[in-house]
Structure 1
Amino acid sequence: MQSHAGEAVNKGSSKRLRGKAPEDRAILIVDDEETVGLGMSEMLKLSGFKAAFVTGGTAAIEEVRKNGYSLVFMDIIMPGLNGLDAYRLIREIDPNIKVVLFTGFYKDADTVITEGVREGMIDEFIRKPFFASEIIDIARKYV
């Protein structure tokens, strides 16, 4: 793991899945809770995806600029740049990127989800805690 603009970055890749090159299957996980992000990253790697993890919105923007991703799993509620604002900036970099927003803070989620759906930027929303199978199924759906 390396420090990047004050936010942790964890990169890795795993075996190739049939039909797609690894770079076409790259997934970025963005969560300020390191245990959640690392866990999601490892789940995805074990399922054959290339996965990277960052701990904040600013690092996510830099990571997408440098490496490109097919899918982003992003926490909504994070210190600094929140998930929705970070995704707006990421979408300017790559308008085709898919996003799955998630949160454990339900009272704030309704407004953000409504706003994201209205802007046409949310492909999927899940609530914490989630199951490993849910993450893998969503990754297979969009990547």
Structure 2
Amino acid sequence: MPIKLLLRNIMTRQILVIDDQPEVGALIGNYLKQIGFIPVVMSSVEEALDNFDPSEYLMIIADVIMPGKNGFDLVRFMCNNHPRIPVALISGYFDKEMENLQKVFGIDKIYRKPVFLRSVKEMVADSLIKLATQTAFSS
């Protein structure tokens, strides 16, 4: 990713939040506003991908378990189509199967629900570090 694209994405400050529970999406959106980002909250992976424009978002925060396409489906789509956009996954449910899927998809971390301001800050910081590292090594 050229440095100009990285800077443009950071300047937009928009972060896509996908969660089928409206109250969780709103909570994460409020936390993002508190730390200076612009949340765009959607309730499904399908809704998010229907009109997805990678130039609009710095990163994505998505629930793992949702009706229809889930967080892992989103990660697969992003890896195949927009590999430079970081995706942070959140879940209130975590078992051995999810741990195995996490390894299969190469996901560094699945953040646990309930989500707090501290964990949202960590998600954004981890994603910005990943984005900066990718940019440094691709230039």
Select the structure that is richer in strand: 1
Compare relative contact order (CA 8 Å, sep 6+) and give the higher one, 1 or 2: 2
5+ residue gaps, structure 2: 1-6, 129-139
CA distance in 1, matches of 2:11, 2:92: 30
CA distance in 2, matches of 1:138, 1:71: 9
| Aligned match of 1:46 | 34
For 2:53, what is the secondary structure of its paired residue? helix
Cα 1:118–1:84 shift into 2, 3 Å: same
Deviation at 1:75, TM superposition (A): 0.6
Select the structure that is richer in helix: 2
For 1:52, what is the secondary structure of its paired residue? strand
Q: Which of residues 18, 26, 31 is equivalent to 1:30?
A: 18
- 1:9-20 equivalences in 2 (<5 Å): none
| Aligned match of 2:118 | 133
Q: Residues 77-121 of structure 1, C-alpha deviation per residue, up to 9 Å, x if partnerless?
A: 1001111112211333311111111111234xx32332233332x
Q: Identity, % of aligned pairs? A: 28
5+ residue gaps, structure 1: 1-18
Deviation at 1:136, TM superposition (A): 1.5
CA distance in 2, matches of 1:40, 1:125: 15
- 1:84-123 equivalences in 2 (<5 Å): 84-107=72-95, 110-120=96-106, 122-123=107-108
Equivalent pairs, count = 122
What is the RMSD of the two structures over their aligned residues, measured on CA atoms? 2.3
The answer to whether the 8 Å contact 1:27/1:51 transfers is yes
Cα 1:63–1:38 shift into 2, 3 Å: farther
The answer to whether the 8 Å contact 1:22/1:50 transfers is no
Q: Residues 44-78 of structure 1, C-alpha deviation per residue, up to 9 Å, x if partnerless?
A: 01211121111011012234336542211111110
CA distance in 1, matches of 2:79, 2:49: 9
